Structure 1
Amino acid sequence: MLIQRIAAGVLYFVLFVLIFIYRGEIMPWLKDLDSSSWPIILLISVMLGMVPVIPFALVSSILGVKYGLWGGSGMSVIASSLAAIFAYWIFGQGGAGGGKQSSINRINTWNERIRNHTFFFVLIGRMLPFIPAVFINGYAGLFKIPFAPFLTATVIGKIPMMLVFAYVGVSVTSGSLYWVPLLLIYSGFLGVIYMIYKRLFSQTT
């Protein structure tokens, strides 16, 4: 178990260092890759989604240019979801486990609340662009947040955001400004999800 934890930590550290060192060359290379090389593009996108070096919005925009709105957003959702799964596993190797109580009551209460409402906490977090994905993945892995609702909320929460990012990439390439209505729809969708969560959360507390 200790070896597995060390290996996971080393793997993540090496990946972070490599992407940080070659961050200036990765994006132009990804952009120049032929769209038929989708397995390589998917693998690179997954690795970029695992570490907080290059904003995934840029990756998703490139995928939108390469594969169009639906193909690009679909690959973005798959890549970012796989990145979340791998990061969840890596951080989970160093986690304390769900049964370990925190010495700080406030943190313990917060963790318990998230565990009881995992789906909506993760969903809202995924849909807020200012919350780093690595923070959600790391927290979920370290504190052993239930995996099934974590993954479900991750996939659902990433769909509108990846759709927006891919559409922005397509719009910038074509010179169109029609991405504005899509951003408004995304904001409305976020507002509806928040109101549903607020109502359900108030009923269970």
Structure 2
Amino acid sequence: MKKKLGLAIFYLAIGCLLYLYGEAILGWFRDADNVILVIVMATVMALFPVIPYPIVGGVIGAAYGPALGGIMTWTGSTIASILMFLFVRYGYQDWGKKVLHKYKNIERTTVLFEKNAFLFILFARMIPFIPSIIVNVYAALSRVSFGMYAIPSSLGKIPAMLLFALVGDSLLTEPRNVVITIAVYGFFLALTLYIYQQWRKKHEQG
């Protein structure tokens, strides 16, 4: 119990510091010229989402361009999701398993999730309005293996992270491109949802 409480207090303390100095950190992103350090800070900002990560990604994209900015944003987000998974898996899984299997509806959903974890995680990552922390925590509390989580999670983050960087860069260079970028991503998202729905129907019928 002390271990769980200590981890929670540590996490909240870091989150409070980022809340207090968030604007200064965003300003630092615009002026920093050390790629590794920016990735480290992007990881911290993704791990403690006091400031919405799309804003962080947009600022990085505006500072470094869509290609490098997208890679940096994706790297930070991916490392953060893996760290959060490990944080919850080794700190709270014993407690989480009891919760997930206490209620029958949640237990059935969890069993289905564990059987199809790769696809569920991949599609969840491609939908930017699904909070990343929910995917991280739910997967960590379940019996999904680290590899089965890390691979689809990392792949599924690529489109959204590129979008954030592209929008940030376009706002400064060519604002009209923002509409085109969002439209293309919207089409990609609709296609992804359609493929997922077809797969789910086929799976349920089978």
| 1:192 aligned residue | 191
For 1:8 and 1:127, the matched residues in 2 are separated by 29
**Residue 148 of structure 1: how far off its partner (Å):** 2.0
| 1:86 aligned residue | 83
**Contact conserved, 2:69 with 2:165, CA < 8 A, in 1?**
yes
| 2:155 aligned residue | 156
- The superposition leaves residues 77-110 of structure 1 with CA deviations (integer Å, 9 ceiling, x where unpaired) of 1110000000111111211389756121101001
| 1:117 aligned residue | 116
**Residue 45 of structure 1: how far off its partner (Å):** 0.4
1:107-146 correspondence to structure 2 within 5 Å: 107-146=106-145
**Contact conserved, 1:12 with 1:90, CA < 8 A, in 2?**
no
Give the unaligned 5+ runs of structure 1.
Answer: none
Give the unaligned 5+ runs of structure 2.
Answer: none
1:1-205 correspondence to structure 2 within 5 Å: 5=4, 8-33=7-32, 35=33, 37-92=34-89, 93-96=91-94, 102-205=101-204
After superposition, the Cα gap between the structure-2 partners of 1:20 and 1:99, relative to the gap in structure 1 and judged at 3 Å, is closer
The structure whose residues are more often helix, as a share, is 2
- The superposition leaves residues 47-75 of structure 1 with CA deviations (integer Å, 9 ceiling, x where unpaired) of 10012211111111121122211111011
Aligned-residue identity in percent: 26
For 1:189 and 1:140, the matched residues in 2 are separated by 25
**Contact conserved, 1:126 with 1:154, CA < 8 A, in 2?**
yes
**Residue 5 of structure 1: how far off its partner (Å):** 4.7
After superposition, the Cα gap between the structure-2 partners of 1:142 and 1:99, relative to the gap in structure 1 and judged at 3 Å, is closer
For 1:145 and 1:9, the matched residues in 2 are separated by 23
For 1:157 and 1:142, the matched residues in 2 are separated by 20
Over the residues paired in the alignment, what is the CA RMSD in angstroms?
A: 2.2
SS of the residue corresponding to residue 65 of structure 2 reads helix
**Residue 6 of structure 1: how far off its partner (Å):** 5.4
